[in-house]
Chain A
Amino acid sequence: MATVDPHAPRRITPAGRVSRLNWLGGAFGWLWLLVVMVPIYWIVITSFKTQSSYFVTNTFAPPSDPTFDNYKLVIENDFVRYFLNSVVVSVGAVVPAVVISFMAAYAIVRRAGNRWLRFVNTLFLMGLAIPLQAVIIPVYLIIIRLRMYDTLLAIILPSMAFAIPLSVLVLSNFIRDVPRELFESMRMDGATEWGTLWRLAFPLTRPALVTVTIYNALGIWNGFLLPLVLTQSPEQRTMPLALWTFQGQFGINVPAIAASVTLTTIPIVLLYAIGRRQLLSGLTAGFGK
């Protein structure tokens, strides 16, 4: 550190200017909060209005006589089934995807010199650049040929595939940080690679595993294109697709649409309230650590 002239004032800038800038920053911050919260506030209050009152009262005024009828209507329209479909698809895709990505990441890190595994790693890295939208037509063709069209499995398999590249990248970065001596001592103790994978690497990379799981689950939970293209019957609908059909079905019944939007969002917002840190670190997974 450079030595500071003891006579120099601590803040050289005039105090007034500093606080004015801070004040400006604060105002900007609250303004942005307004931008973020207005649509959310609006959708929630609207979901409690009756259809008739929606058209005669101020859009932004809270409902004078809150009603749960809209929620009842949405739930009566098979909401639970769509919700369960989304759960099946998300869990069914994310858990196996993370497990097999973890295994692949372990092999890639432990045999970094192996040419075959280096090729596999390069393939996954390239995979990061493939947008799902661009390959949806061949995916559709493959699903038809496998006779899986209009099943939940049709959504699960491609979702898994597109979760793998980033998962392998993040997990291998973490496994690489495990001190090599630990692997050595496991080997000395006679542990197999399979045992080392689960008893050493797994507990040490748990934060990364949680992060990757959350990141992928959020993407798949909110996915729209795969269900749209690969399913057809109402029985296989996941929530984003159901939302979209509700919108057509309820037409001008805006409060019912608002209720369906609110209902589909509640589970994630609850998760956010519980595991905010993991979720946020998950969202930037892949940019360093």
Chain B
Amino acid sequence: MTVIAPPAARVQQPTTRSGGRGGSIMWMALPALLVFGAFGVIPLIGVLALSFTTWDGIGTIQPSGLASWGAALGDPALPHALLVTFEIMALSWLVQTPLSILIGVFIAARTRYRSVLAVLYFIPLLLSSTAISITYKALLDPNFGIGTGLGLDILNQDWLGEPRLAMGVLVFVVSWQFIPFHSLIYQGAVRQIPSSLYEASQIDGAGRLRQFFSITLPQLKYTIITSSTLMVVGSLTFFDLIYVLTAGGPGDATRALALEMYQTGFMANLMGPASVIAVILVLVGLLLAQLLRRLSGRGDESQLEGM
């Protein structure tokens, strides 16, 4: 699933600090803390620690200083995986954002047929990446797939056998899976835009297109940033989808960072270098989230202009 970006800190309301009856309730937080500590916090520290060791996944773990870092950073597969990851990230953002906004606006209208369409639009949200990938893999079969079915020769391509095409297919499948989620976010945001803005602009003689560009889009600014953060950070973790659809192929054309980590760790049994890749994955994610947050900080003052 998608990774949820940390939301802005909420203002804490001071609650009664009355001791009184009931006394300490701190123990209530303990079970959650223990489980999350054991399988969330400790692994996060663990992955950093493991990046300074050599381990084949079965035998003993040997501390080895910077050897794993040297091995991982010296491997040309790493910059390639980073490049592929950023390519998937950029392309899928470019495809998903405009479409999600359009669909979000489309289904924000409270007409009956659009609500029915919306119900159907959201179906991909329910399916596992595995099911989706397997479906597309079969559907895009060069001999018996979509090309033959529609009788269009242009669709009879070796979709997953050509590096450029495979990347295109991957971006398409990602978009097919995640556009529903983002249009759901946009739908909610569009419905919160005060209708007085539209009424006022109508009196000023603005057409629909004008309204979209001068009201809807600016009002969605923060939603666009939230949705983009989720898209960008989420794309770092694409694993199931790529693993099942292309397995990183053809060659290494779609071998993104998470897959590279899995292959290094669990296929080549190099857990040290794989941990290095995992650490890089976390760092890139935090960096991107921070960058997007910085981006959203600018131009706040114009947010409420015209209200």
Contact = CB atoms under 8 A, between A and B. Distances in A.
Q: Specify whether A and B are partners.
A: yes
Interface of A: 1-2, 4, 8, 11-13, 17-18, 21, 25, 28-30, 32-33, 35-37, 39-40, 42-43, 46, 54-55, 58-60, 97, 100-101, 103-104, 106-114, 116-118, 120, 123-142, 157-158, 160-162, 164-166, 168-169, 173, 176, 180, 183-184, 187, 190-194, 196-197, 218-219, 221-225, 229, 239-241, 243-244, 247, 254, 257-258, 261, 264-265, 268-269, 272, 276, 279-280, 283-284, 286-287
B31 interface: yes
Given A137-B261, A240-B128, A243-B128, 17 more contacts: A21-B208, A39-B139, A42-B139, A59-B144, A106-B28, A107-B28, A110-B25, A128-B6, A131-B285, A161-B38, A222-B128, A244-B134, A247-B137, A268-B126, A268-B127, A269-B123, A279-B126
Interface string B102-128: 110010000000100101111111111
A265 B6 contact: no
Contact of B22 (A55, A193, A221, A268): A193
B40 A127 contact: yes
Interface string B34-59: 01101111111011011000000100
B128 A224 contact: yes
A112 B181 contact: no
Contacts of B261: 133, 137
Given A39-B135, A187-B22, A265 B43 contact: no
Contact of B1 (A36, A142, A222, A264): A222
A17 B206 CA distance: 12
A142 B42 contact: yes
Q: Which 5 A-B pairs have the closest CB atoms?
A: A59-B149, A138-B46, A161-B39, A222-B128, A193-B22
A196 B281 CA distance: 43
Name the prevailing secondary structure of the B interface residues: helix
28 contacts: A13-B205, A32-B103, A39-B176, A43-B135, A59-B144, A109-B15, A112-B13, A113-B14, A123-B36, A128-B4, A128-B7, A129-B6, A133-B237, A137-B274, A138-B44, A141-B50, A142-B46, A161-B39, A162-B40, A173-B10, A180-B16, A190-B21, A191-B22, A222-B1, A222-B127, A224-B128, A240-B131, A284-B184
Given A39-B139, A187-B18, A244-B134, A100 B10 contact: no
Interface string B155-174: 00000000000000000000
B144 A54 contact: yes
A186 B73 CA distance: 60
